[in-house]
Amino acid sequence: MDREVRAEILTIGTELLLGQTIDTNAAYIGEQLAAAGIEVYWKSTVGDHDARIREALRVALSRSEVVITTGGLGPTEDDLTCRAIAAELDRPLILDQAVLESIRRRFTERAVAMSPNNERQAMIPEAAAVLPNPHGTAPGFVIRLGNGRMVAAVPGVPSEMRPMLNEQVIPRVCEAFGVKTRIRSRILKACGITESALDETISDLVRLSRNPTIGVLAYPGEIHIRLTVKTEREAEGDRLLDDLEHTIRKRLSQFLFGRDEERLEEVVGRLFLDAKATVAVAESCTGGLVCHRLTNLPGSSAYFVRGEVVYSNAAKERLLGVPHELIAEHGAVSRPVALAMAAGMRQTAGTDLALGITGIAGPGGGTTTKPVGLTYIALASDDGVTCREYRFLADRDTNKLLASQRALDILRRHLLSHQHAGQN
């Protein structure tokens, strides 16, 4: 059985604390460590301050076997990571001639003069194992401590950090601590169901399943079900994940649309290609977001024919043929207008399917009878024209995103229903 290895991620940079840079490194490191069977117990962020970096490292080493730092290995005065680690571990910095030559060679190859401060990047803590950086000037390093701890420092630039982590740091950690178990995850994505309803549907599985375990994460417009398994054998892990996924799919079949990195628009695009069907979209409150998502895929010209952003009443009348009297009687945000938009769009574009979307994105424009977030989405097809009403309760951007998500899901369900009907 593997020895338990507690890992901690320490991201360094004042810009992270100020919110000027989003900390994507920690998420990536955590994901890669988990995949390698190394569990991350803590994550900390500290600014470019020597004493605070040292304190954060001291705390991390008091509770974790492996500490991975990222950031602060550059040549400038505020790049303090290397110096702080060396000072906290009471190891002098020593000029590494091989590293210095590597840095000089990199500048020579680029025909750029090397600044004197780049020499700082060749100062490595005594007895540290250097991690070469073929993608930049900042080398990383690993230090093995006598108390069974390990510190690894990698650059903060993602394109430099990622290969160094995967190719050098993680293999060293696995070898040092005898890690054989691998942690693998699979994400099932659902939409068209509330988080509470989904939880109620699979709550017994969440409660009773121990390996794989189940986690439920809610995002705007969709819910992710994360299945995580621990095993030494890849085939066994796949079997356990497949069995649990099969059980979940039997309960949530119509709501599940994809796995792992799949996006809803990708799934819809494949269904259109399989059906050899075409679509056009008339949007008001979503401002072209549905068209953007449908066309943000290679090969989308095979099914997407046309889109119109008909924000004004005049545009709805002139471009889609929505009767003026209909808008006057029911208002632009209404079921009858959405139905007319979808029907008019399908007729003018000559497509198999057409959407009509109208609503109040907010934050203003709502009334007692028509509150902010009220949205109508209509679908025109050979089966006729149908419309659904939604009431989103978020800010403007999120309301638009939720409306686009529902619109794509309407297309998905329609295409699937006809696909199944054709198979019967």
What are the tens digits of pLDDT across the range 47-89?
999 999 999 999 999 999 999 999 999 888 889 999 999 999 9
What are the tens digits of pLDDT across the range 339-381?
999 999 999 999 999 999 999 999 999 999 999 999 999 999 9
Domains and their CATH numbers in the chain: 6-177 (3.40.980.10), 183-259 (3.30.70.2860), 264-423 (3.90.950.20)
For residue 262, how many other CB atoms are within 10 A of its CB?
14
Confidence category of residue 420, pLDDT binned at 50, 70, 90: confident
Q: Specify the pLDDT at position 78.
A: 87
- Mean pLDDT confidence for 136-163: 94
Backbone φ, ψ for residue 87 (5° rounding): -65, -45
Contact 367, 380 (CB under 8 A): no
What are the tens digits of pLDDT across the range 196-206?
999 999 999 99
Cα–Cα dist 264/421, whole Å: 22
Confidence category of residue 333, pLDDT binned at 50, 70, 90: very high
Checking if the pLDDT of 2 tops 70, the result is: no
Confidence category of residue 1, pLDDT binned at 50, 70, 90: very low
For residue 167, how many other CB atoms are within 10 A of its CB?
12
Show the 3-state SS of the chain. CCCCCEEEEEEECHHHHCCCCCCHHHHHHHHHHHHCCCEEEEEEEECCCHHHHHHHHHHHHHHCCEEEEECCCCCCCCCCHHHHHHHHCCCCEEECHHHHHHHHHHHHHCCCCCCHHHHHHHEEECCCEEECCCCCCCCEEEEECCCCCEEEEECCCHHHHHHHHHHHHHHHHHHHHCCCCEEEEEEEEECCCCHHHHHHHHHHHHHHCCCCEEEEEEECCEEEEEEEEEECCHHHHHHHHHHHHHHHHHHHHHHEEEECCCCHHHHHHHHHHHHCCCEEEEECCCCCHHHHHHHCCCCHHHCEEEEEECCCHHHHHHHHCCCHHHHHHHCCCCHHHHHHHHHHHHHHHCCCEEEEEEECCCCCCCCCCCCCCEEEEEEEECCEEEEEEEECCCCHHHHHHHHHHHHHHHHHHHHHHHHHHHHC
Beta bridge partners of 377: 357, 388
Q: What pTM was computed for the model?
A: 0.77
For residue 413, how many other CB atoms are within 10 A of its CB?
18
What does the block give as tokens for 255? 């709501």
Confidence category of residue 35, pLDDT binned at 50, 70, 90: confident
Q: Specify the pLDDT at position 126.
A: 96
Q: Specify the pLDDT at position 3.
A: 63
Query: If we measure between CA atoms, which residue out of 38, 37, 73, 36 comes closest to residue 53?
Result: 73
Q: Specify the pLDDT at position 424.
A: 61
Checking if the pLDDT of 310 tops 60, the result is: yes
Backbone φ, ψ for residue 417 (5° rounding): -65, -40
Checking if the pLDDT of 290 tops 70, the result is: yes
What are the tens digits of pLDDT across the range 211-230?
999 999 999 999 999 999 98
Checking if the pLDDT of 291 tops 90, the result is: yes
Residue-averaged pLDDT of the chain:
94
Cα–Cα dist 360/115, whole Å: 56
Residue with the bigger pLDDT between 180 and 323: it is 323
- Angstrom CA distances, 265 to 159, 245, 409, 419, stand at 28, 22, 9, 17
